[in-house]
Amino acid sequence: MSDKTWLFTSESVSEGHPDKVCDRISDAVLDAYLDADPQSRVACETLATTDRVVIAGEVRGPDDVRQHVEEIARQAIRDIGYEQKGFSWKTCAVENLLHEQSADIAMGVDEGDKGEEGAGDQGIMFGYACDETDELMPAPIQFAHRILRFMAEDRKSGVQPKFGPDAKSQVTLLYRDGKPVGLDTVVVSTQHLEGVSQDEVREMVKPYIEKAFPSDWTLPDDKLIVNPTGNFVIGGPDGDAGLTGRKIIVDTYGGAAPHGGGAFSGKDPTKVDRSAAYVARYLAKNVVAAGLAAKCQIQLAYAIGVPEPVALYVDTLGTGKVSEDKLATRLREMVRLTPRGIREHLDLLRPIYARTAAYGHFGRQPEADGGFSWEKTDLADELARSFGASVAAE
């Protein structure tokens, strides 16, 4: 039916959310190792609670980096903006329990006789793209990120100092005929300074809602829900313990596409949990950018110690203009999907990961230093030519 409508919802959390604090610290540790030695192996997990941060995991890299982990953690917390009673970059205890990588794991993933490395673990990874936004991302998650990013920018610059670092957003959009056409409901919960009333917080939030959405999308006042539980002064790890890797749907597609079993943060690119999810997004985005589908979902599957993926599945969700089997074959020809192949194609052995720890790993702009390289659409023209320029031009 041409008038079919539905609602779809996605949420985001700010860089000051307890789980995101942990993601940021884990990725900052990873960046420090990669900066010191691009061949470092890192699997770093962080726990944060009232006045305490615990860092654990397995590493293989320069010994002197481990000596600076406490400093790295404090700097990450400072940059997020935590200097409050119950959790401060100055006074929180930081416990470093990082240790050497297991020899058994190293044996499985180290380079073999053919110059390839095995996958760091078994698992399935998904990538997704769609034509709902300029970034080729689902619209609800992009808007949810945008609200919080705008709020954080003004908090950190001093434009809106009454906001605290901890915040969440949730966006429900109206879809008609498969496309987002308007707003239904927006929920924002934000930490704030003591003494700021709920009405004041609501007025503080409103400009960021207006800024985040298209000017012709209106939101009824009763559909903007701000701090529904009331006071939100105690926030961050003092209000709720955080762990690395607990916001995987926020990190990816907001529930619009599947997610594999693994999180991203704190893992170096030999871990296909991260690198294969990035390349799957890269391939899916290029398929959509090439005009070969309005939506594309890609699944990769790996076995520990085995370089090549055991499976590549392409699903254009009924929007494709070419055979999915042929598309899968062509994608495997264009990008070598071994851990080494992914790493080299996307140039992943760089200290570029702390910036991914908040506001999504996808839907960002590729950066000059190699950050978000998986967001490039440099395969799109070749893909379009492979299946006929007329298809891409339709």
Q: Which CATH class is domain 123-131+272-393?
A: alpha beta
Can you give the pLDDT at residue 390? Answer: 41
Q: ∠ CA(213), CA(263), CA(275), 5° rounding?
A: 90
Task: Identify the three-state secondary structure at position 280.
Answer: helix
Residue reference for tokens 């409050």: 84
For the residues 271-282, what does the mean pLDDT come to? 96
Q: What is the mean pLDDT of the chain?
A: 94
CA distance 226 to 348: 39
CA distance 365 to 195: 38
Can you give the pLDDT at residue 290? Answer: 97
Q: Catalytic site residues?
A: 17, 19-20, 45, 58, 168, 232, 240-241, 246-247, 267, 271, 273
CA distance 15 to 150: 12
Phi and psi angles of residue 330, each rounded to the nearest 5 degrees, phi first: -65, -40
List 175's β-bridge partners, or say none. Answer: 6, 180
- Annotated binding-site residues for K(+) read 45
Q: ∠ CA(307), CA(308), CA(313), 5° rounding?
A: 145
For the residues 214-229, what does the mean pLDDT come to? 94
Residue 60's H or E segment, with its range, is: strand 52-60
Nearest to 332 by CA among 319, 345, 320: 345
Q: Do domains 5-13+139-235 and 123-131+272-393 have the same CATH topology?
A: yes
Nearest to 377 by CA among 317, 311, 313, 296: 296
For the residues 314-333, what does the mean pLDDT come to? 96
Nearest to 267 by CA among 37, 59, 80: 59
Q: Which amino acid is at 135?
A: E
* Cβ-contact 176, 5 below 8 angstroms: yes
Can you give the pLDDT at residue 118? Answer: 83
Domain residue ranges in the chain: 5-13+139-235, 123-131+272-393
CA distance 28 to 15: 13
Q: Model confidence over 55-110: pLDDT tens digits?
A: 999 999 999 999 999 999 999 999 999 999 999 999 999 999 999 987 665 555 66
Conformation bin of residue 177: beta by default, left when phi > 0, alpha when psi is -120 to 50 = left
| pTM (whole model) above 0.85 | yes
* Cβ-contact 292, 392 below 8 angstroms: yes
Q: What is the CA radius of gyration of the chain?
A: 22
Residue reference for tokens 């070969």: 292
Residue 208's H or E segment, with its range, is: helix 198-212
Length of the chain: 394
- Annotated binding-site residues for ATP read 17, 166-168, 240, 246-247, 263, 267
Q: Model confidence over 101-118: pLDDT tens digits?
A: 876 655 556 655 456 788
- Annotated binding-site residues for Mg(2+) read 19
Encoded tokens for 304: 């520990």
Q: ∠ CA(335), CA(337), CA(340), 5° rounding?
A: 105
CATH classification number, 5-13+139-235, choose in 3.40.50.300, 3.30.9.10, 1.20.950.20, 3.30.300.10: 3.30.300.10
Q: How many CA atoms lie within 13 A of 363 on its CB side?
A: 26
Q: What is the DSSP letter of 246?
A: -
Say yes or no to pLDDT of 1 above 50.
Answer: no
